[in-house]
Structure 1
């Protein structure tokens, strides 16, 4: 019985370690950046720099557009230039003198939580117009924000911002690159920029599985 108990602990530990050490720590925004760069390199275009400042601005844009998502997963949202410089950037802690040129943006929404590859193909880059924007040679940087409108349900919103400005000198976050802590949503460019409501739920699922296994183990031993 002791050996079975020890094996159960080891198994659960391995499960949790695998989840915690996942590539982007549960940040689907970074996964989307990777998909964008894979697509660009496949078409012999240079990869884009993953800018956390631009990503945070994209998150603000996604949150701003949450009321525009229709029941059939369509969205029409075009924040003004003033919104970007006067609201989104300060909300992130982007140093205003470093606010660069946004060379393109894509906003999409869906009422179901989609994987990064599903969001890429079915929401963000599903037509010729958005796909041509993806392959624009003037882009140097990219930032992605993901926002869930309600705590326990969608719609989910994705915003991709491209910039043609010089890499590493624009969209600089203050406080030594940390900017202002975001309470909701995810944005690309930081190792762990997801809030609790947008994190991948695999870790919680594995914890629940382990708890259930322990309960079953103790119930089975107590009935012997």
Structure 2
């Protein structure tokens, strides 16, 4: 009876831990959340809502990766060279180079700890200049991305704006961007947890599960 009880306990723990692990690994895409906040801010200021372009979002993630985790390089005029879009960013995302449209603005922020979308918005819109970029009437579409570095901080958020036609600019070959993890980008309806540290570590859950099962069967 004792063995049966312990095995029943192990089964219950298994279900609980797998449920928690699933919750930890199936977060909504924070880049999509940021785009929603950006559009809400624009419409509140009587500006038009922008189309969320997955190709531009993927390029925003590539834009982040060009900084190679160097948070101190963010700001000023330090940014990837223009040729990177054709030579690196577009091919890495599977975006057709002929569909690249003009960028009309960018917002970039970085800090050592993970900021959720609402906090990231405050970081990105930190002064009148960045607010002017957000509310510009030149934009028609937007792409956002977030990622950490080497499984942790620093964490980068990037927003790119364009005046391209949403249905024909930054077109992805085959309709699906190339795998660009680690990181999240907007517009692709992808649940994303690889860019951030979840509150519950999957490996901790697995370790706890193995310990619980081993303990149960030891009796």
Query: Fold conserved (TM > 0.5)?
Result: yes
Q: State how far apart, in whole Å, the 1-side matches of 2:13 and 2:95 are.
A: 47
Structure of higher RCO (CA pairs closer than 8 Å, 6+ residues apart): 2
Q: Structure 1 residues 6, 68: CA separation in 2 closer, same or farther (over 3 Å shift)?
A: closer
Q: State how far apart, in whole Å, the 1-side matches of 2:10 and 2:68 are.
A: 48
Q: State how far apart, in whole Å, the 1-side matches of 2:197 and 2:211 are.
A: 25
Give the total of aligned pairs: 213
Query: Are the counterparts in 2 of residues 102 and 162 from structure 1 also a CA contact under 8 Å?
Result: yes
Could you say what the CA RMSD is over the residues aligned between the two structures, in angstroms?
A: 3.1
What are the ranges of 5 or more consecutive residues in structure 1 without an aligned counterpart? none
Q: Structure 1 residues 211, 141: CA separation in 2 closer, same or farther (over 3 Å shift)?
A: same
1:137 and 2:137 matched: yes
Query: Are the counterparts in 2 of residues 106 and 159 from structure 1 also a CA contact under 8 Å?
Result: yes
Instruction: Give the TM-score, by structure 2 length.
Output: 0.79
Give the 5 Å matches for 1:83-162: 83-122=84-123, 124-149=124-149, 151-162=150-161
Among 180, 184, 187, the residue aligned to 1:186: 184
Q: Secondary structure at the match of 2:90?
A: helix
Q: Structure 1 residues 189, 216: CA separation in 2 closer, same or farther (over 3 Å shift)?
A: same
What are the ranges of 5 or more consecutive residues in structure 2 without an aligned counterpart? none
- Note the alpha carbon deviations across 1:183-204, whole angstroms, 9 max, x for none: 32211111216473x1552564
Q: Structure 1 residues 217, 89: CA separation in 2 closer, same or farther (over 3 Å shift)?
A: closer
Q: State how far apart, in whole Å, the 2-side matches of 1:144 and 1:32 are.
A: 7
Give the 5 Å matches for 1:1-224: 24=28, 27-70=29-72, 75-76=75-76, 77-122=78-123, 124-149=124-149, 151-174=150-173, 176-192=174-190, 194=192, 196=194, 198-199=195-196, 201-202=198-199, 204=201, 208=204, 212=208
Instruction: Give the TM-score, by structure 1 length.
Output: 0.77
